Structure 1
Amino acid sequence: MLSITAGFGILGLNLSQPPLVAAFNAFNEYRGLSYGIGGDEGALTVPNYIKHYQPNLKGYSVGDHIGLYCSVSSCPGRYIPEKDQLNAALSGSLSINLQHQLDYLLSEMKVIPGIDVQNDWKMINIQIGSNDMCSACESGYENITSPDAFASHIDAAVERIRANVPRVLVNLIGAFNVSQLFPVTAGQAYCRPQNNDPSTVGNVQECTCGSTPGGLDKMDELAVEYNKRLYAIYEKHQQTKSDNFTVVYQHSNLNMTSFPIEFFSNIDCFHPGLIGHQWVSKIIWNQLFSPQSLKPSVFNFDANETVYCPTDSDRIATN
């Protein structure tokens, strides 16, 4: 899980605030608004859709706090449990950091009041890969960001969950093809709210491949291969699913050319803003109730996207 799931920069830079306050808030992680695990009151998130039917849901993250960064060379893994709850995502994380995040998740799951680890059903979302793609152009990162390495990191995480978490549904979410956002956001004044210098747009500073010759093509290739590997892991576990464990897969082939610029956070035009998180929460939630054969293969932005309301006969599709 990475900075998107951590909720980094969701509310962006608010120019109506005093400059120092705006700058501080812009780099917060808005954990309670994160599409996949946020639970702030009124937020459009998967946990809040679940809470509509199961108000006793536990483990969703709330509120916000300063960003807590993790990298390959340094991952101190600081958490603020009273806000993070079971949101183990760390900004900057690559797939190789998943084991570190599981260390926190598996221990925290046992101490939150009201969670019966043995008998309660859990859903664990795994969505990562953007930082792997961005780092693939950096010297020394080729081996840990290759498709095979990515797959091994994900598979090891899923196997650890299977071995240690009873009654769990692992929700694998496809990696976003982040190369598409660079032509969409290039030259946009929205992406540099504090000045007129295009070179200061955050995405080209944060994503090495985004500013490297041939880097966008490399990310295109990695996005395809990463998602092939994720789907293969899902298929493997279709053969091993049981009454206690199953893996599902949600497509995330987002057509970013269809996105309004406000989909992105204005702090860097790399991370989704509030509009982006709200929309992604809907397409992930809606897919949960569709078998693989009926899931959309490409997602175009729709400001009027609706939230599916399951009936008594609906179940999360595990095939």
Structure 2
Amino acid sequence: CKPLAPRPTPKTIHDLRPDDFSTIMGIGDSIMAGMGAGQVDTKLSDGIWHAMREWRGANFATGGDPESISVGNIIRRYRPDIRGLSYGNHSWEFCYGVNIDNQLNYLNKYLPTVDPDYQTSWKLAIYELGYNDLCSACMAPKSKAAAKESVLDNFRHQTRRAVERIRFMAPKTVVVLMGPFNLTQISDVASRSPTCKKRRAFLGLECPCLMKTANRLLGSFQTMDDLAVAMNDVLQDVANEY
């Protein structure tokens, strides 16, 4: 694709192009951090080392490593000075669960430094959450219906709170609410991949409901799929509010 010819900064969200974004931001869980996204070597020891790292430069949203296919790198094709890209890898920060307030506090603190014109420039924030809840869906108490509603209520509240905070502290930001996909659809494919087998051997704690094959027979896979659909409905409801 050819570079776009420069133009004045648009005044409305309905007239945005990739080169109009000055900064990209990622808010989310281990998928946003690029958990296990690096190439796994054939050696078992290397497989362990790679699986236990967050490849932030390779994450789908803000990954800035040259070989990474990411939203950030695609935007950089049209906006070479795009800010907010992630690079390299990082030791795994083992903390099950995500504190969105901490991420937003970090964003609020450093955004003025990263983008001094953040009050008037256009920005893109990609919000991706829900997989931790999916991966623990099979561990719900006996009343699965009540547990599901509790998860969805918390997910709805958390998403609304995050969007509102972004709206007030980072004006002129396009917020993309990324709905979770059905993790179970990739289970069979991953089980046939030597690369994925290595990761699955050491990342059982990352998604226990998916990693145990017996859970398919116990109905846990269907529970995960149903919850993913419901979470996407919640995100659509929140988006419709704006």
Of 31, 34, 37, the residue aligned with 1:10 is: 37
- Counterpart of 1:232 (choices 228, 231, 237) is 237
8 Å Cα contact 2:40/2:195 also seen in 1: no
Identity %: 32
What is the rounded CA distance, in whole Å, between the counterparts of 2:46 and 2:201 in structure 1? Answer: 20
Structure 2: which 5+ residue stretches go unaligned?
Answer: 1-27
The structural deviation recorded for 1:232 is 1.0
Q: Which moved more, 1:201-210 or 1:25-34?
A: 201-210
**How big is the shift at 1:188?**
5.1
- AA partner of residue 158 (structure 1): V
**Structure-2 residue corresponding to 1:168:** 173
C-alpha separation between the residues in 1 aligned to 2:195 and 2:136? 25
Cα deviation for residue 125 of structure 1 reads 0.2
| 2:108 corresponds to which of 106, 109, 116 | 106
1:171-190 → structure 2 map (5 Å cutoff)? 171-186=176-191, 189-190=194-195
3-state secondary structure, aligned to 1:5: coil
Residue of structure 1 in register with 2:74 after alignment: 49
Task: Output the CA distance in 2 between the equivalents of 1:71 and 1:203.
Answer: 12
Looking at structure 2, the residues matched to 12 and 64 of structure 1 have their Cα atoms a distance apart, in angstroms, of 12
Aligned to 1:251: none
The secondary structure found in structure 2 opposite 1:37 is: coil
Tell me what 1:206 maps to.
Answer: 206
Cα shift readout 1:264-319 (whole Å, capped 9, x = no counterpart): xxxxxxxxxxxxxxxxxxxxxxxxxxxxxxxxxxxxxxxxxxxxxxxxxxxxxxxx
User: Is the alpha carbon distance of 1:31 and 1:188 closer, same or farther for their aligned partners in structure 2, counting shifts above 3 Å?
Assistant: closer
Q: Secondary structure at the match of 2:31?
A: helix
Tell me the SS of whatever aligns to 2:168.
helix
Partner in structure 2 of residue 151 of structure 1: 156
Distance (Å, rounded) in 1 between the aligned partners of 2:186 and 2:234: 23
Contact 1:58 1:115 in 2 (8 A): no
Q: String of CA shifts for 1:220-246, please: whole Å, max 9, x gaps.
A: 110110001111111111xxxxxxxxx
What is the TM-score of this pair, normalised by structure 1? 0.58
Q: Bigger relative contact order, structure 1 or 2, given CA contacts below 8 A and separation 6+?
A: 2
Give the counterpart letter for 2:41 in structure 1: N
**CA distance 1:205–1:118, shift in 2 (3 Å):** closer
**1:12, 1:26 within 8 Å by CA — same for their partners in 2?**
no
* Aligned alpha-carbon RMSD (Å): 2.6
User: What is the alpha-carbon distance in structure 2 between the residues aligned to residue 53 and residue 189 of structure 1?
Assistant: 37
Which residue type is aligned with residue 167 of structure 2? Answer: R
Which sections of structure 1, spanning at least 5 residues, go unmatched? 73-92, 195-199, 238-319
Cα distance, 1:21 vs structure 2: 4.9
User: TM-score, normalised on structure 2?
Assistant: 0.74
Query: Paired residue for 2:5?
Result: none
Q: What secondary structure, in the 3-state scheme, does the structure 1 residue paired with 2:162 have? A: helix
In the alignment, the residues of structure 2 paired with residue 52 and residue 214 of structure 1 have an alpha-carbon distance, to the nearest angstrom, of 45
Q: Which residues of 2 match residues 1-319 of structure 1 at below 5 A?
A: 1-15=28-42, 20-72=45-97, 93=98, 97-112=99-114, 114-138=115-139, 142=147, 146-186=151-191, 189-193=194-198, 201-202=201-202, 205-210=205-210, 211=212, 212=215, 213-237=218-242
Kindly state the Cα deviation for residue 137 of structure 1 after the two structures are TM-superposed: 2.8
**Quick check: which one's helix share is greater?**
2
SS in 1 for 2:241: helix
